[in-house]
């Protein structure tokens, strides 16, 4: 992951618990001004330093705009920490902003056989720094990237009502420091990401490593709901990688009522997880690949993709941005792509509404592309405009593509 020069990064580490919970720690009592101009980084460091001396701590951030000159790096093992923004009378969130390529908040634990520690953050806006895509962009096609919030190696994580803007790399990411070949107990027991907005977060490299709105892996159970993700490509000039990603050893993820509006190579990506997911009542817009599933775990648990709206709406025709997935085989780009071997569990794809809109770009030759014997596809509606009168469904011989899938053609 991308990092600032370590001379400027202040890492706070705690391997043992010292004190009982005390009163909330207010950053203004440590000298933070919140005027948007003064460097409040030292005040945040002192507040965090005192917080991690407690078993249970809460840091409060009164309404204001807090400029920090460096990333806020927080490291502890077995504590519980909460960062809480205090809204103003109109419901506006306090803002933490940085004026260079950098993480904003990075929380790290320790990779153990049984995960430990809890982290929670709510009611905060994080404003990063990123330039629009150009060949001169310093991080284009590089391995280095940054995050609005990154949380690693924690047992429980809760992120609620957080806004992340203008980051090159990842908006909100919850992972283990090692994502594969780890003990099952090392994963987070519970992750909640709710009511968040991720705006103009993107990244691009040819290895397809980063550039996501929300990313979750290595979790036993998760609730990802009521989030809004948009990368305004008129401003950023390039697609991000994925709106929402669920990957590596994740299971039992409830993904509901999210809206990926525009600006990503694909809207939702599910890969190398253990299954048991419910993906329901989401809107996945802004790409000709709304959902791609590439699972490979033999003992996979049944997963349900249902009652979602999938569309190329907001994938603008007048923009020529670089694609990542199947960039040399554009016909392969379909609203739903399922590419998995035969697994113990099924992937049930039902009652979704697929809309291919003439007014927006669509590269694919079909609406659904699946060669998986683990796919169970039924009761979906495909709605296409007059330009797509030859739209197809590409289904392999082992796919259970059954009753009540319907194709509706509209003259827009």
- pLDDT score recorded for residue 65: 98
The closest of 335, 341, 394, 395 to 362, measured between CA atoms, is 335
Question: For the chain, which residues make up each domain, given as ranges?
Answer: 10-409
pTM: 0.93
- pLDDT score recorded for residue 4: 43
Taking 60 as the threshold, does the pLDDT of residue 295 lie above it? yes
Tell me the mean pLDDT in the region 272-295: 98
- pLDDT score recorded for residue 318: 76
Torsions phi, psi for 386 (to 5 deg): -65, -25
- What is the dotted CATH code of the domain comprising 10-409? 2.160.20
58-98 pLDDT tens trace = 999 999 999 999 999 999 999 999 999 999 999 999 999 99
Tell me the mean pLDDT in the region 239-252: 98
Tell me the mean pLDDT in the region 256-278: 98
325-363 pLDDT tens trace = 988 888 889 999 999 988 999 999 999 999 999 999 999
Contact 78, 47 (CB under 8 A): no
Tell me the mean pLDDT in the region 198-215: 97
CA 217 to each of CA 60, 255, 294, 397: distance values in angstroms, whole numbers, following the listed order: 28, 13, 14, 32
Which residue do the tokens 């009378």 mark? 89
Mean pLDDT of the residues in the chain: 91
- pLDDT score recorded for residue 22: 63
Contact 231, 222 (CB under 8 A): no
Residues in the chain: 412
What percent of the chain has pLDDT above 90?
A: 82
């Amino acid at each position: 992951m991308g990092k600032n020069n370590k001379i400027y990064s202040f890492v706070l580490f705690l391997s043992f618990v010292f004190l009982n919970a005390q009163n909330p720690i207010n950053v203004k009592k440590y000298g933070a001004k919140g005027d948007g101009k003064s460097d409040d980084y030292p005040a945040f460091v002192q507040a965090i330093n005192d917080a991690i001396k407690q078993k249970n701590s809460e840091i409060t951030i009164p309404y204001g705009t807090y400029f920090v000159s460096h990333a806020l790096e927080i490291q502890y093992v077995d504590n519980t920490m909460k960062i809480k923004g205090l809204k103003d009378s109109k419901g506006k969130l306090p803002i933490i902003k940085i004026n260079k390529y950098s993480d904003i908040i990075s929380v790290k634990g320790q990779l153990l056989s049984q995960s430990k520690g809890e982290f929670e953050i709510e009611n905060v806006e994080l404003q990063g720094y990123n330039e629009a895509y150009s060949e001169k962009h310093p991080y284009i096609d590089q391995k280095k990237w940054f995050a609005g919030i990154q949380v690693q190696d924690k047992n429980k994580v809760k992120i609620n009502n957080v806004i992340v803007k203008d980051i090159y790399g990842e908006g909100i990411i919850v992972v283990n420091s090692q994502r594969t070949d780890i003990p099952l107990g090392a994963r987070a027991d519970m992750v909640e990401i709710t009511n968040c907005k991720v705006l103009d977060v993107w990244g691009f490299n040819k290895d397809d490593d980063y550039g996501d709105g929300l990313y979750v892996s290595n979790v036993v159970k998760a609730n990802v709901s009521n989030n809004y993700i948009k990368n305004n490509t008129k401003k950023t000039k390039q697609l991000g990688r994925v709106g929402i990603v669920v990957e590596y050893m994740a299971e039992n993820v409830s993904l509901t009522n999210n809206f990926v509006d525009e600006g990503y190579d694909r809207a939702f990506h599910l890969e190398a997880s253990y299954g048991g997911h419910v993906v329901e009542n989401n809107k996945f817009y802004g790409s000709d690949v709304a959902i791609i599933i590439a699972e490979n775990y033999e003992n996979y648990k049944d997963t349900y993709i249902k009652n979602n709206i999938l569309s190329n709406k907001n994938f603008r025709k007048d923009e020529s941005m670089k694609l990542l997935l199947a960039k040399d085989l554009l016909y392969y780009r379909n609203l739903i792509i399922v590419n998995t071997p035969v697994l113990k569990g099924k992937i049930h794809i039902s009652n979704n509404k697929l809309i291919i809109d003439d007014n927006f770009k669509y590269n694919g030759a079909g609406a659904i592309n699946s060669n998986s014997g683990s796919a169970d596809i039924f009761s979906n509606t495909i709605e296409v405009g007059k330009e797509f009168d030859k739209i197809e469904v590409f289904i392999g011989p082992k796919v259970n593509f059954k009753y009540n899938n319907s194709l509706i053609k509209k003259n827009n």
